[in-house]
Structure 1
Amino acid sequence: MSELVEFLRARFAAELDDIEGYDGGWNDADGCWGIHVDPEFTRADVQAKKRLLELHPHTTMRQDLGEARLRVAYGPNWEKRLKRVDDVFCTTCHVEDGVIESSGQPCETLRLLALPYVNHPDYREEWKP
């Protein structure tokens, strides 16, 4: 699984944790400017983002095909012949007519989903779209 996917799942879980037990309204608990919190909106927003993750599964050739199939398709020296066998690709965005067109980066859809978290300490510069 892609590190970006893991990052996004952790952020989505944190968003749900933040609203746990909260019934909505204005939140100014820390002396900050109040923000309106709508738990139902947050839940729906996170569910939509999780669905986008499901629509853009990321894998590698090794994970997707398995070593046995790669050995059959490319011969006994398949690891030497396939230099990018462990590059992550999106099965929705990086495959065209059965051919992997991978850049070695997560797809732009997931990089856009991560953009609101650009100031998070675990966000990586290479994820910027």
Structure 2
Amino acid sequence: MSGLVEFLRARLDEARAREHGKRRSIPSPFDGHDVEITYSSYEGQQVIVDGHPYPAEQYFKIATEPAPDPNVIADLDAKQRLLDLHAPDSFGSTSTYVTCKECSQGYEVHEWGPEYPCVTVRLLGLSFTNHPDYDERWRP
């Protein structure tokens, strides 16, 4: 079951790459400005920003530049940090029992904490149950 963390890190990296590849729709540098787009057969497409003409070609280039959603990136970063926090820990080099460093805090030295991957890591995996590489044994 140790493959869950590698699986999750790969999916989070894929999500980050997809997000960085998105084209800007909203927000744009023109948010908060009055933008009017008109078309006439005589003048073609015109863009008016805050009452002033703006080059239409330049407007559409700027308004569609790649722009990842900062909230999505922050969410992906938080999930990566949770994986870092809930890292595996074993009881010496000869132990086959692996527990979670974070979830086993508070246990006495002779007690064994929850087996790894812990519930927190397993819950992170629920976002990817549709992925063909998801292993149902990882389900919490």
- The TM-score range, normalised by the shorter chain, is 0.5 to 0.7
Flag structure 1 segments of 5+ consecutive residues without an equivalent: 27-36, 67-78, 80-84
- Structure (1 or 2) with the greater strand fraction: 2
- Spell out, residue by residue over 1:36-66, the C-alpha distance to the aligned partner (whole angstroms, 9 max, x if none): x9521221110010111121111333xxx34
Matched residue of 1:13: which SS? helix
- Aligned pairs for 1:1-129 (under 5 A) are 2-25=2-25, 39-61=69-91, 65-66=92-93, 85-95=95-105, 96-98=107-109, 99-103=111-115, 105-129=116-140
Matched residue of 1:97: which SS? coil
How far apart, in 2, do the equivalents of 1:119 and 1:88 lie?
A: 27
How far apart, in 1, do the equivalents of 2:89 and 2:7 lie?
A: 15
Contact 2:122 2:139 in 1 (8 A): yes
The TM-score normalised by the length of structure 2 is 0.60
**Which amino acid is 1:44 matched to?**
A
1:102 Cα deviation after fit: 3.7
Runs of 4+ displaced beyond 6 Å: none
How much is the aligned-residue C-alpha RMSD, in angstroms?
2.4
Judged with a 3 Å threshold, the aligned counterparts in structure 2 of structure 1 residues 122 and 87 are, in CA distance, closer, same or farther, namely farther
Contact 1:94 1:107 in 2 (8 A): no
- Number of equivalent positions: 98
Which residue is equivalent to 1:30? Answer: none
Matched residue of 2:131: which SS? coil
How far apart, in 2, do the equivalents of 1:15 and 1:41 lie?
A: 13
